[in-house]
A and B are shown apart, each in its own frame.
Chain A
């Protein structure tokens, strides 16, 4: 609610307000390890990096290449050490299956970090579209995603829109809003004015849009949800790994859809 309120109130105050970039003397901290780890129906992938200074804009030098990464499944006593490829990425052949719980162990030097995750059933997407919404004198572009909830279980979803293979907008949601029914997620993309001005953040004709929807477990959802709200709260996400490792591990069932963006195909609301 607060997000919409701030958005709405800010829109009204554009009549008076102004914005400007300011210089800040950022405090420095020792680098911390970060992992983004997934096991899907296609395989296992873990990327390990370190935090970087706020003013540093390259990830070079922040990839962790000497970690030992092990994924295991208690159900069939399978264990596999992932192989290092490049850019801090470790991959494995183990493919996730719904209902299985997987453990991930990461060893870096004398440090040991662990997390676990259970893979849900595959998500089902009902529809996705782009639509204009007019608010006062501005037209706002929204992505409107509808997902059919997996029946008779607590379900959690992670949705990610990629634009030309680069992450563009993402969100998480639970099924509590309409259990066993259709769930909706809106993505506020840009404004008509920004599109007209050719703003780099605005979608353009011919952009390749990939929609990725993952069914995730509660533990992954809690992490990603806390990451989603942290901008407003100014706090770090809750821990997903033991030992102080930042990031998360998610056993997720993934579906992907591809679109080519056409401004003329945006629906009027």
Chain B
């Protein structure tokens, strides 16, 4: 969001003056800040950190780098989505310049849709979020796009194994109006055209980012931001799968005398899926979307040791959970909602040792009339259908969400932080796997589905060495969520168009500890993080109403990230990732029906996949040429250096010929070398 860098800049104008916005993030993110910031569980992330980790196929991916932070987990090898403190990726909100974004994956999730060239930085709130943020029962990732230079034109061009990208930036009006435009496209499909067997198929993605920054005067600034991403995968005329993100925002920042600011943003976003199959005359088409349009206003008042944030947001939401055309049958479920929020957050620093933050967010979410709503019995059968006046509230859910956080810092070197927050979520995703796919179905809070409401408590200890060369943190948390959804027994994604018939609601809980040690200076920098966590669910009607492990539960996560500056030209990076086995469901018995072995599942997610680990390395060579006007960069990487096949999917097979039950592990990637070239000008 644009507020973040500008606000940070307003706090320290000597730092921000004459610098690019992304540098503000870099400067803000040091050990001192980690020790002293009042918000526990918040990670302000440098682009440098996000782009230094070795990349799959040489494709720099900020979301995959994010997965290396303490308390943050990757969903799988095939997903750029992330999970925080026992929550699922669907319980996170991702904001791109204030607008919500969904399904941030290219190639069904292998790579994120965010081009690193377009981003200034990001802040990840791991559950304990200031009152200005809402809409997520787990974490909020607030991404700020970068603004273009206003002093001279420049840009870069790069090519990797999968895609090529380019950017251009510069002053449309010098020192007044800056432009940044980024575009990226995969080019595998161009080679497919050369092979007879693949000629009629499509497999590509692209994304584009545009940012305009208009300095009206010393106190007023306008930002126009636009982001689009698109994926298409097709097998001649048999299968066609497409998904598209469109995001736009217009933001006005006003700076009052002193450090107070106000920011008003108009935003809109849309995520659409469009998929069709035509095999041997069988025609099936599936559509879905999530669309938002809204206005966000935040007023930030700074006076002496006080900082007050107050604001409101109004947003229209349109969710098409599914539209199916299967032969002659056409079904659609589409719902609209009006979502209103207001917040007040007060931060007070009475002394050098103490700092407090307290806030409250009010949210009123109204499902709107127009389409049919219904009641269901305990088996999920519809018992009553009713229709209300179009665009009039059918059901309004009001949540009041208090948040408090404090830091006690007796010396500059160490601190203790504690916090509590309540958050809610009214967009619910329904997935049949533990990972995000482009075909997840979404629904809103209605007369049947209540908002997910999460309460989280957190406590942390932070320490840094006198010269800030090293810093350490230990955080613990407990999280409880009401109204989490899971499938009924014997029900799948496409069992019924009415999504509320497929699910049961219950509660979830997660607890754990996160340890992080960082080395901040010298030739070798990096961090080691360890997360110990539990995540469980309890739903009446599933597993006899007992607590069971969530399908994203895994006990241990270790990430080691290192960067070594060999000399001016060469930088070496390495990452080692270890996860203990993820929970999954396996049969505990079997029986025969219709001449097939049928598995009996005694418990959900009662088994553990094999441990996951891999080592990635990369080396980057950088050289300035043409008297420093150009920078050449070669990057060589190896993903999964020791070629370990980690489990992506485990399936069970039986045969009527008596070979017995076989558990088969499917892995996505072995060793994957890569190379990319980048030219900056």
- Interface hit among B406-414, B488-496, B552-560: B488-496
Rounded to whole Å, the gap between the CB of A47 and the closest CB of chain B is 9
A12 at the interface (CB under 8 A from B): yes
Given contacts A178-B329, A238-B489, whether A54 and B203 have CB atoms under 8 Å apart is no
Q: By the criterion CB–CB under 8 Å, are A18 and B585 in contact?
A: no
Rounded to whole Å, the gap between the CB of A235 and the closest CB of chain B is 4
Q: Which residues of A contact B603 (CB under 8 A)?
A: 27
Q: By the criterion CB–CB under 8 Å, are A1 and B275 in contact?
A: yes
Rounded to whole Å, the gap between the CB of A113 and the closest CB of chain B is 15
B672 at the interface (CB under 8 A from A): yes
A49 at the interface (CB under 8 A from B): yes
B residues 536-595 touching A (CB-CB < 8 Å): 584-595
Q: B598 contacts which of A2, A24, A31, A227 (Cβ < 8 Å)?
A: A227
**In the bound complex, how far is the Cα of B654 from the Cα of A166, in angstroms?**
14
A259 at the interface (CB under 8 A from B): no
Proximity string of chain B (430-454) to chain A, C-beta cutoff 8 Å, 1 when within and 0 when not: 0011000101000000000000000
Q: A36 contacts which of B238, B594, B668 (Cβ < 8 Å)?
A: B594
Q: Which residue of A lies closest to B492 (CB)?
A: A229
Q: A136 contacts which of B201, B329, B439 (Cβ < 8 Å)?
A: B201
B467 at the interface (CB under 8 A from A): no
Q: Which residues of A contact B286 (CB under 8 A)?
A: 1
Please give the number of chain B residues whose Cβ is less than 8 angstroms from any Cβ of chain A in the complex. 81
**In the bound complex, how far is the Cα of B655 from the Cα of A246, in angstroms?**
20
B392 at the interface (CB under 8 A from A): no
B642 at the interface (CB under 8 A from A): no
A residues 133-167 touching B (CB-CB < 8 Å): 133, 135-137, 142, 144, 160, 162, 166-167
Q: Which residue of B lies closest to A57 (CB)?
A: B660
Q: By the criterion CB–CB under 8 Å, are A54 and B602 in contact?
A: no
A92 at the interface (CB under 8 A from B): no
Given contacts A36-B594, A246-B600, whether A26 and B667 have CB atoms under 8 Å apart is no
**In the bound complex, how far is the Cα of B661 from the Cα of A55, in angstroms?**
6
Proximity string of chain A (1-40) to chain B, C-beta cutoff 8 Å, 1 when within and 0 when not: 1101100111011001111111110111101101010000
B279 at the interface (CB under 8 A from A): yes
Q: A28 contacts which of B284, B491, B588 (Cβ < 8 Å)?
A: B588
Rounded to whole Å, the gap between the CB of B555 and the closest CB of chain A is 17
Overall SS of chain A's interface: mixed
Q: Which residues of A contact B670 (CB under 8 A)?
A: 16, 18
Q: Which residues of A contact B433 (CB under 8 A)?
A: 232
- Interface hit among A72-80, A101-109, A179-187: A179-187
Q: B490 contacts which of A26, A27, A131, A236 (Cβ < 8 Å)?
A: A236
Rounded to whole Å, the gap between the CB of B638 and the closest CB of chain A is 14
Q: Which residue of B lies closest to A50 (CB)?
A: B591
B residues 634-679 touching A (CB-CB < 8 Å): 645, 647-648, 650-652, 655-670, 672
A residues 57-96 touching B (CB-CB < 8 Å): 57-59, 62
Q: By the criterion CB–CB under 8 Å, are A235 and B489 in contact?
A: yes
- Interface hit among B113-121, B351-359, B370-378, B604-612: B604-612
Q: Which residues of B contact A136 (CB under 8 A)?
A: 197-198, 201, 235
Given contacts A178-B328, A184-B281, whether A2 and B439 have CB atoms under 8 Å apart is yes
Q: Which residues of B contact A49 (CB under 8 A)?
A: 591-592
Q: By the criterion CB–CB under 8 Å, are B588 and A27 in contact?
A: yes
Q: A21 contacts which of B235, B275, B589, B663 (Cβ < 8 Å)?
A: B663
Q: By the criterion CB–CB under 8 Å, are A179 and B328 in contact?
A: yes
B625 at the interface (CB under 8 A from A): no
Q: By the criterion CB–CB under 8 Å, are B596 and A167 in contact?
A: yes
Q: By the criterion CB–CB under 8 Å, are A52 and B590 in contact?
A: yes
Proximity string of chain B (600-627) to chain A, C-beta cutoff 8 Å, 1 when within and 0 when not: 1111101100100000000000000000
Rounded to whole Å, the gap between the CB of A112 and the closest CB of chain B is 20
A42 at the interface (CB under 8 A from B): no
Q: By the criterion CB–CB under 8 Å, are A237 and B490 in contact?
A: yes
Rounded to whole Å, the gap between the CB of A154 and the closest CB of chain B is 13
Q: By the criterion CB–CB under 8 Å, are A21 and B601 in contact?
A: no
Q: Which residue of B lies closest to A228 (CB)?
A: B492
A residues 206-242 touching B (CB-CB < 8 Å): 222-227, 229-238
Q: By the criterion CB–CB under 8 Å, are A246 and B591 in contact?
A: yes
Q: Which residues of B contact A131 (CB under 8 A)?
A: 280
A128 at the interface (CB under 8 A from B): no
Q: B329 contacts which of A57, A176, A231 (Cβ < 8 Å)?
A: A176
A177 at the interface (CB under 8 A from B): yes
A51 at the interface (CB under 8 A from B): yes
Q: By the criterion CB–CB under 8 Å, are A133 and B280 in contact?
A: yes
Q: Which residues of B contact A238 (CB under 8 A)?
A: 489-491
Q: By the criterion CB–CB under 8 Å, are A236 and B600 in contact?
A: yes
Q: Which residues of B contact A236 (CB under 8 A)?
A: 489-490, 600-601
Q: Which residues of A contact B386 (CB under 8 A)?
A: none
Q: Which residues of A contact B658 (CB under 8 A)?
A: 57-58
B384 at the interface (CB under 8 A from A): no
Q: By the criterion CB–CB under 8 Å, are B594 and A170 in contact?
A: yes
A200 at the interface (CB under 8 A from B): yes
B326 at the interface (CB under 8 A from A): yes
Q: By the criterion CB–CB under 8 Å, are A27 and B602 in contact?
A: yes
Rounded to whole Å, the gap between the CB of B161 and the closest CB of chain A is 12
A269 at the interface (CB under 8 A from B): yes
Chosen A-B contacts, 26 in total, with CB atoms closer than 8 Å, are: A1-B439, A2-B492, A2-B493, A4-B277, A19-B666, A22-B647, A24-B607, A26-B588, A27-B602, A27-B607, A29-B600, A144-B280, A162-B595, A184-B327, A226-B495, A227-B593, A229-B495, A230-B601, A231-B599, A232-B432, A232-B433, A233-B432, A234-B601, A235-B491, A235-B604, A237-B489
Please give me the 4 A-B residue pairs with the lowest Cβ-Cβ distance, nearest first: A167-B595, A226-B490, A234-B585, A229-B492
Excluding A18-B666, A236-B490, 15 further A-B contacts by CB distance (< 8 Å) are A1-B284, A2-B432, A5-B275, A8-B241, A16-B672, A26-B587, A49-B592, A133-B280, A178-B327, A181-B327, A223-B490, A229-B495, A233-B487, A233-B492, A235-B604
